[in-house]
Structure 1
Amino acid sequence: MEEKRKKAFYRRWWFWVIIAIIVIGMAASGEEDVVQEATPDTGDTIEEDNEDVSGVEDQDEAIDEEIIEDADETEADATDDSAKPDPIDRMTYGSGMYEVGTDIQPGLYRSEGSVNYWARLSGFSGEFDEIIANGNPMGASHVVEIFDHDVAFESSGSGEWYLIDDNYEGELATEFGDGIYIVGVDIEPGRYRSEGGSGSYGYWARLSGFSGGFDDIIANGNPEGSTIVEIDGADQGFETSGNGTWTKVE
């Protein structure tokens, strides 16, 4: 009897099954490695993107805050500017003769600069009888009231006149020199002392109005040297020239 020959192990069917399983396993493992290498780390990328987005949002918020602050400052500046009177729009009257009601309106006027002469007139003839009141101001500040029954107002010098309206605010000073002042607006009422001017005599007057007429004079004086005057709170104005500086003492 012939002996059976043993088949080589590589000719057995189960050998090839094992080989196939090994190959398939190796292939699957290789694909996983490839997938893992090809897949990016999305966690880091998302975090970086979030940081970039957060940075952009911070920049946008900062810009928005700057815009709001600029808008607030602009609005505040506009409010401050609107509260202040515009000197450019203020009507002024220099040297010349003006017809009341046509060229110039009745009202209380203050001078600014050097006015040498002024007059309220009842006509245009140029005669002395048509002068209702007049003056030769000393100092940079003078106040005159033009009435609606005046026909004309005349002024000469390099100074100008402007209308005092409801928005006018004085300094309420306690020390002042030559001029006419509104009591309670330009200067405080009270007791004032003057050491006298450089000339021999000065002049002062407490006023009940600003027409420039004698009827507006409550009291006046021509002091030589120092003097003391009590300005009452009921006085409308105070006029001074050649007395130097007045200082409130009480």
Structure 2
Amino acid sequence: MRQEDIEETVAESGYRQIRADIIFGRLAPGQKLKLENLKGAYGTSVSTLREILNRLTSEGLVVAEGQRGFEVAGVSVADLREIAALRLLLEEHALEQSFEQGDVEWEAQLVSAHYKLARMEKVMATGDTSQAEDWKRYDWEFHQALIAACGSRLLMETHSAVFDKYLRYQMVALSYRGSVAEEEHRQLLETALRRDSKTAKEILQRHIQAGVEHALGRGLLAALPAQARG
């Protein structure tokens, strides 16, 4: 393998790792990202790290502070509401297209995605949060499966990027709504299988809005240190 290819592979791997660590809260909102410290943790050079962090800055997950370096983007109530509204707008449109075009293979993948999510929700319902990352990963996979037949790669990618930002808030707040959310997921599956996009969009709207209000109602964002709030 050429040196250029090796460097590109290292950079891409580092990008995915740092991005995942931000989304899943291992790198906290407002945390300073010191290049010398990150170099050892992610096994890459300072110059490569700078490229990665600039890339994440363009995605809104990192903030560049001029000569002072980088930090993980903060969180705020207004930002959460805006992200949730954009997610709903994209997901409703994609969902309608997916319901119209989905075939039996799409149905099978959707059922499989829901099965994994439902199993993990049972674990969360016991109060065991040790697998919270798996829970949210399966949540992401289920909602992606719902819209997977929409026919637009760009729409899927845009939705995925917005969902990741929404997911970061859920990990920060660790907001699990219990059997209510579990039932909404089951209803979304059923409406998908009978291609009832009208009802599905109503459930989705309730699902997202209730998730936001549940997180805010617990006051978890307000309880974060000042540097974590954007």
What TM-score comes out, normalization by structure 2 length? Answer: 0.23
- Answer 1 or 2: higher relative contact order, Cα 8 Å, separation at least 6: 2
Q: Which has the higher strand share?
A: 1
TM-score (norm 1): 0.21
Q: Point out the structure with the larger helix share.
A: 2
> Computing the radius of gyration over CA atoms, which structure comes out larger, 1 or 2?
1
